[in-house]
Structure 1
Amino acid sequence: MRFKLQWNSFLPAALLAATAAIVFALPVSADNPAAPKAAAKTVINITMNGKASNLKTPPILDQGSVYLPVRDIGELLGTLVSWNDQAKTATMRYPKLTVKLPFGSTSANVNGQTVALSSPLRMVDGRVYAPLRFFSEAAGVDVKWEKATQTVHMVKSDDYLNLYSWLTIWWDRTSHELYTAKDEQSDVLNIGKLDVEMQGTISAEGGLQQGGNTVLTFVDRYNNQKPHYEVHSLLIRDNKIVSQKDAAYDLRYERNTSYYQIYDPKGWIEYTVLTDGKIVWVYNDEGKIVSTYDLPALTKQNDVFGVQAVGTDYLVVRPGRTGMLTLVDLKDNTTTILADKLLTGKDLAYARENQMPYPGDTLSFAGDTGYPGYGILDFAYLSPFQKNARSERLTYERPSYAEERKALPKERSFQEMAASCSVDTVKSVHMQDGDITYKPLIAANKQDQEGIRTVCRILKKITAEGTEVTLPRTFPETFFHGMSVEFAAGDSVSIYRSGGNKLAVGSELGGKNIYLDNAQMVKEFEHLKVSK
């Protein structure tokens, strides 16, 4: 995660002294009478806190005055910069500062107040520039022009730590106030205090809203004789911090889960997860605690745990001392060291005996493939003995669900499902391209039945004319682009795009697949996709 330090808080008097413009590609035409001829091309250097900075758009020297590209400089200083093409207005956003500049105007709006520009803007090659003096007067930055070397020296303090995740984040090192903005068009909001002291390399994780909740996690990594991680997770609702949990890990830190969902006939129900390494708190979509789990009590280990997954009746955790990924099954109140069930030979011996750079296995949770109600979990495993290999997919069937799995319908071959495929045997067809989902085909809806007939025709043709291939049990490198055909009998089959004019029946996760190269089938396949 990249980060950079921000300059100090702005003084109100300085804010009213001058204002800004932003560099944007604008058409230079008769509609822009203020646009002068291009300034002389002069190489001007920029340094920030003593380090050379290479801007995408070079500064210019115009009639003896230095002008800087404000988008580039603004981003260098850590502001969010945007352009509203309809209003022809540029905006810089930063904690406690919003500058709006209508192009062509002789004044700007700084924190809601109208301010005259200290000197006119310049438009060169379709881009807007502001005078050097602006950055000193309005941005609270020490700016000096060294004529002999044609260099602009800029110095700013580092009161703000600037981080990026799904949000742009500023953290005030002194007051501990935390500010966020979801994008360059959004206001910078004070969401509360992250009340900790940080001393190492700081990174941010999360920030993507799930339902009404957002989890934002800060990781402070430093060496204290050995690698150490201070992990601070925040639950945010309505742009305010409502809960903070702090955990500390030695040697190894793997990102803790912060979210899971369960299926309900009325729709998916979302839950948010926080942990301090010992207790797991589960929040509903209204931000209320609905479950807590005491990990030392459940595992009978007095340790600090990483939390890789939480489900309706299980947790997947890693105790720090042993490093062995563990399943806590709440259905039958058992704990299982997963390496003992999934690994063998030298891989298992390595997991049990290795201590460098940290103890334990290299398994990681990959998904609940048996949901709902079948107790089948997938794990990714990258063997230390296979260099530059892809992760292998390993499956664990929870013993607590043995009876439920026995009640499942007998597994049918692809050919058997294709032979039976009709509007009478298919329940529904769900289609997606990555995170884009399309309107499903429901057999009970008469208007969808012709589409289901097309799906069945495609399935029959692939299984009858395609080539069968057995894939290794790994993880696909791309998102799923295809459809899931759900049968009334309870089983299902996937049809997916496999590059070019190829369609496939099976799973990119591995096992038996059947491929068919047929442009007409691909055309019919794509025609079934209708946006919701």
Structure 2
Amino acid sequence: MRFKLRWNSFLPAAFLAAAAAFAITLPVSADNSASTKAAANTGINLTMNGKAANPKTPPFLDKGTVYLPVRDMGEVLGTLVSWNVQAKTVTMRYPKLTVKLPFGSKSASVNGQHVALSSPLRMVDGRVYAPLRFFSEAMGTEVKWDKATQTVHMTKSDDYLKLYSWLTIWWDRTTHELYTAKDEQSDVLNIGKLDAEMKGTVSAEGGSQQGGNTVLTFVDKYNNPKPHYDVYSLLIRNNRIVDQKHAAYDRRYESNTSYYEVYDPKGWIEYTVLTDGKIVWLYNDEGKIVATHDLQELTKEDDVFGVQFVGADYLVVRPGRTGLLTLVDLKDNTTTVLADKLLTGKDLAYARDNQTPYPGDTLSFAGDMGHGIVDFAYLSPFQKNASSERLTYERPSYAEERKALPKERSFQEMAASCAVDTVKSVHMQDGDLIYKPLIGANKKDQEGIRTVCRILKKVSSEGTEVTLPKTFPVTFFHGMSVEFTAGDSVSIYLAGGNKLGMGNQLGGKNIFLEDAEMVKTFERLKVSSNN
């Protein structure tokens, strides 16, 4: 019989009565100096539900009490445990349970009720240690001491499945209620019920946010008899589940996209995406459905689809039966099997004929380059330990628009034209760190733009031109993008050491210049966006 704690309504009488005896009944250590024992492995072992628990820092025994660092406590118990420096308080959070233990106090707070302590917090070598039994029993865990093996055996009910995405998630196997906490300092919130019966190995992914929307995805993998994936996607607003979809995939599952962006002169507009594998729903940042796409109707296939990308006027999907990545063009109502356009020879034959471990190709959406140009990553099954190749597909529906584009200028032509009145903007970044841009129309930015132009002219005139393979860089972009009023742009990036690169790290023609002073000048242009 499962035992469920309902800490929000009462505290078990046995727990309150035994509060003063929470220390594990153990023989007193011959050396009672915790500070000399904490750093060493004292030989004390921990198990949870019969499995060894291996905290990063070994527990220590002092005056009959086993102590464990606060950070390790949460890992062992499946809870969130934090130390508030200002309040000098340890807090453990769990569904329906909040335990607070102030440093130096003789009592703790369990869901707001005071409980006397016999074993207080300890500070050892600058690290906060907490009594293991107190926190374990507060959440209904049975604790037993095995003197012969020097082992603390802990047993707790398996009511909650703990998962991680960008936040911590607990799923109540009995009630199906979901609880989340953004971080160790945040309260655990009940966000509603997941409409699912889990049968296999469960994982959580996503947690992406668009405006006030958050999408969480649960994947239940089991054999039926071949690998099967039940995928549950939840739309969450204001800490409540407002919609959820279920998709079922056989043999192959790739994470579905959960959002897309549309550029507007006033800024990017974000949409949230959910799918059941047959229909795609689009939600605005208020959580309202603004559009739907019936994939079976669009493709004329009675199938279940993985959704890799949703754009303003196209989708990239993978039908389950063929496994061939497909572009659905909403502009001209056509569907294109991308392997037929991007692969040749044995790679195409593999995509068409292979059935192990699943049918289809290994193409994946990589990026929208604008004007109907879409990039895909491809990892050939015939090239072991190779990096992904970048392949480009040009949508026919944009052919006329591409013809009307201005003639592409060379690096030298762009550098020669670079001036305060020809540069629209300069955007700089180091990975996900974005710096303050330089705007051509702002007088205060014009000296910086002149410096950028000097760098462009020097690299283009003195550097060495190299043609890079079309692939994907192994590092984040560290550089700047110079946008001209003529409508084109060029990138300058750090290429390692004292080298600057001009061009595109994704491949094609690039120019490289080894110049330590230019690198220093380049770095000085970066100004925090907070300034």
- TM-score bucket of the superposed structures, by smaller chain: over 0.9
Percent identity between matched residues is 81
The amino acid across from 1:60 in the alignment is F
The amino acid across from 1:390 in the alignment is S
Structure 2 counterpart of 1:3: none
CA contact 1:501–1:522 (8 Å) conserved in 2: yes
SS of the residue 2:264 aligns to: coil
| Mapped partners of 1:437, 1:253: distance in 2 | 34
**Alpha-carbon offset, residue 204 of structure 1:** 0.6
Counterpart check, 1:302 vs 2:298: no
Cα deviation 1:173-230 (Å, max 9, x = unaligned): 0000000111111111110000210011111111132211111000000001111000
Structure 1 counterpart of 2:166: 166
Counterpart check, 1:327 vs 2:323: no
Counterpart check, 1:495 vs 2:500: no
Change beyond 3 A, Cα 1:490–1:118: same
| Mapped partners of 1:137, 1:528: distance in 2 | 57
Change beyond 3 A, Cα 1:294–1:132: closer
**Alpha-carbon offset, residue 113 of structure 1:** 2.6
SS of the residue 1:248 aligns to: strand
Structure 2 counterpart of 1:9: 5
- What are the ranges of 5 or more consecutive residues in structure 2 without an aligned counterpart? 23-32
Counterpart check, 1:460 vs 2:457: yes
Structure 1 counterpart of 2:29: none
SS of the residue 2:208 aligns to: coil
CA contact 1:9–1:159 (8 Å) conserved in 2: no
| Mapped partners of 1:58, 1:129: distance in 2 | 11
| Mapped partners of 2:211, 2:415: distance in 1 | 38
SS of the residue 1:263 aligns to: strand
Cα deviation 1:282-329 (Å, max 9, x = unaligned): 001111111100000000001000001100000011111111111110
| Mapped partners of 2:445, 2:20: distance in 1 | 59
**Alpha-carbon offset, residue 62 of structure 1:** 2.1
Matches within 5 A, 1:205-224: 205-224=205-224
| Mapped partners of 1:8, 1:299: distance in 2 | 49
CA contact 1:19–1:110 (8 Å) conserved in 2: no
Matches within 5 A, 1:184-333: 184-333=184-333
Counterpart check, 1:441 vs 2:434: no
Counterpart check, 1:378 vs 2:365: no
Structure 1 counterpart of 2:89: 89
Structure 1 counterpart of 2:475: 478
With a CA cutoff of 8 Å and minimum separation of 6, indicate the structure with the bigger relative contact order.
1
CA contact 1:307–1:318 (8 Å) conserved in 2: yes
**Alpha-carbon offset, residue 473 of structure 1:** 0.3
CA contact 1:88–1:102 (8 Å) conserved in 2: yes
SS of the residue 2:198 aligns to: coil
CA contact 1:18–1:137 (8 Å) conserved in 2: no
Matches within 5 A, 1:64-79: 64-79=64-79
| Mapped partners of 1:344, 1:353: distance in 2 | 13
Structure 2 counterpart of 1:517: 514
TM-score (norm 1): 0.92
| Mapped partners of 1:166, 1:503: distance in 2 | 35
CA contact 1:199–1:222 (8 Å) conserved in 2: yes
SS of the residue 2:461 aligns to: helix
Cα deviation 1:413-453 (Å, max 9, x = unaligned): 10111111111211111111112212111111111111110
Change beyond 3 A, Cα 1:163–1:64: closer
**Alpha-carbon offset, residue 129 of structure 1:** 3.5
The amino acid across from 1:306 in the alignment is G
SS of the residue 1:456 aligns to: helix
Change beyond 3 A, Cα 1:19–1:51: farther
Structure 1 counterpart of 2:425: 428
**Alpha-carbon offset, residue 13 of structure 1:** 2.0
Cα deviation 1:72-94 (Å, max 9, x = unaligned): 23321111111111221111111
The amino acid across from 1:264 in the alignment is D
CA contact 1:20–1:70 (8 Å) conserved in 2: no
**Alpha-carbon offset, residue 126 of structure 1:** 3.5
Structure 2 counterpart of 1:143: 143
Counterpart among 414, 419, 426 of residue 416 in structure 2: 419
| Mapped partners of 1:10, 1:133: distance in 2 | 19
Structure 2 counterpart of 1:182: 182
CA RMSD across the alignment? 2.1
SS of the residue 1:408 aligns to: coil
| Mapped partners of 2:325, 2:461: distance in 1 | 43
Change beyond 3 A, Cα 1:181–1:346: same
The amino acid across from 1:161 in the alignment is L
CA contact 1:19–1:138 (8 Å) conserved in 2: no
| Mapped partners of 1:269, 1:394: distance in 2 | 27
Change beyond 3 A, Cα 1:96–1:312: same
CA contact 1:20–1:99 (8 Å) conserved in 2: no
Structure 1 counterpart of 2:27: none
The amino acid across from 2:384 in the alignment is K
Change beyond 3 A, Cα 1:102–1:310: same
SS of the residue 2:349 aligns to: helix
- What are the ranges of 5 or more consecutive residues in structure 1 without an aligned counterpart? 1-5, 22-34
CA contact 1:38–1:125 (8 Å) conserved in 2: no
| Mapped partners of 1:19, 1:521: distance in 2 | 69
| Mapped partners of 1:158, 1:75: distance in 2 | 15
Structure 1 counterpart of 2:502: 505
SS of the residue 1:119 aligns to: coil
The amino acid across from 1:361 in the alignment is D
**Alpha-carbon offset, residue 153 of structure 1:** 0.8
